[in-house]
Structure 1
Amino acid sequence: MIRNAVITDQTEVAVLLYNALHEIAEKLTGGNTHEEVLAGLRHWFSQPGNRLSYENCLIAEQDGRPVGVIVLYHGNEANRLDAPIVTYLRKLHGDASIILEKEADDDEYYIDTLSVHPDYSGKGIGSALIQKAEEQCQMLGYHKIAILADMSNTRALSLYKHRGYIHDYTITLVGEPFAHLSKTFMT
């Protein structure tokens, strides 16, 4: 079953987000240890108005618990959604120059993160979450959806290409190359 996320999903979703985001999760939370990063992810997930908020998440639920998550927002909302995180990180590090790289283009519905628990991998949950994201994109009247994938993650790249996503360009995040893949819907 795919459903909207709720605040009480925070414990399971924090683990899923960390599994997908790795160094990006450390950067977003300012955490140095595994537990600090998980605590930061739980915090941001439970707060409205930021990129990792439950408001922007769909959950795949099986056996009564979240086993997959997809984080979605429109690219033109990225700066607003990143603002509370940037403010926090600047204060935490005492560095007013901290910024977050813009991942989403202004003309796209953006899949920020997709993660499936390893015990449920290969069971179509990621595909189901992407399908639901594409349906939501079209329902909201958007014509383009996009995602970034680590260039070394051949399994993810294959999944997105199989679903009709095109590799438009490559960007660098946390020093690593990521493929920007997009799919356009006819009006």
Structure 2
Amino acid sequence: MSTGGRRLVDVLDAAYAEDPWLSWTLPDRGAARSLFSLYLRTVAFAHSRVLVAGDPVDGVAILVPPGVAARPSAEVGAEVIALHGRRIGPALDADAVLERHRHPQPCWVLHTLAVHPDAQGRGLGTALLDAVVAHVDAEGEGRGPLTLETANPHAVGWYQRRGFDVDHRIDLGRGWGFGVDAPTTWLLSRRPAPSSPTDRPHAVR
């Protein structure tokens, strides 16, 4: 991986160090770092829009366009299973629960928005989200809403203040058989702003 790619892994690793979902589904921080690297190499750079902020890079957003469903090779799939270890079964089962509540139509997915802890509070996250929203709005209403999922309760209000609505709050620790330590996960969405005749789509890279 390039120096720039390694920096993105550093940002993701630091930003998600205490993420409830990753802490529950992965055995240790080393596995999380390896998973970030694998995702960037095999999915994000090939099938998504990757936005960065800061110099050096301290923030990253990964936006997945509607209809994109990258299917990993058998080799990549085996690596994902190995990184999760014995947590792969609960992780897949919990994701299946979330899948029942996701938008049925094609939509934009904000897969990742992360800012290095040392750079938080400088507006990088807002700048990245503004760029993502501007791109989705420029594409028009016909391509579906912008959606995201988070298990970080502190992030929910931040997104709500920026135009997102909570569609579902799913407490995986109650009634699903995963145990009380399973994380609560919020599914949020934002409808694109109505387009005007003067709107012009622009690339986000």
Query: What TM-score, normalized by structure 2, do the two folds share?
Result: 0.65
Say whether the 8 Å CA contact 1:25–1:41 is kept in structure 2: no
1:67 to 45, 58, 75: 58
Cα distance in 2, alignment partners of residues 25 and 75 from structure 1: 25
Query: Structure 2, unaligned stretches of length 5 or more?
Result: 173-177, 196-205
Q: CA deviation at 1:17?
A: 2.2
Cα distance in 2, alignment partners of residues 83 and 67 from structure 1: 28
User: Which residue in the other structure is 2:200 paired with?
Assistant: none
Higher mean alpha-carbon deviation, 144-153 vs 160-169, is at: 144-153
Query: Structure 1 or 2: larger strand share?
Result: 1
Q: Please, what is the CA RMSD of the aligned residues?
A: 3.5
Q: 1:134 to 1:112 in 2, by over 3 A?
A: same
Q: Deviations over 1:130-182 (max 9, x none)?
A: 111112212334341122232522xx222211111111112357821122111
Give secondary structure in 2 for the equivalent of 1:81. Answer: coil
2:16 to 16, 20, 23: 20
User: 1:30-179 maps to which residues of 2 (within 5 A)?
Assistant: 32-47=27-42, 50=43, 52-53=44-45, 56=48, 57-62=50-55, 65-74=56-65, 76-77=67-68, 80-81=69-70, 83-84=72-73, 85-90=76-81, 99=92, 101=95, 102=99, 105=103, 106-141=105-140, 142-150=143-151, 152-153=153-154, 156-171=155-170, 175-179=182-186
Q: 1:145 to 1:151 in 2, by over 3 A?
A: same
1:181 to 188, 199, 202: 188
Say whether the 8 Å CA contact 1:74–1:110 is kept in structure 2: yes
Say whether the 8 Å CA contact 1:150–1:176 is kept in structure 2: yes
Q: Which has the higher contact order (CA 8 A, sep 6+)?
A: 2
Q: Deviations over 1:53-97 (max 9, x none)?
A: 4752211122xx1100111103532xx325345454357769x97
Q: 1:20 to 1:140 in 2, by over 3 A?
A: farther
Q: 1:113 to 1:74 in 2, by over 3 A?
A: same
- Structure of larger gyration radius: 2
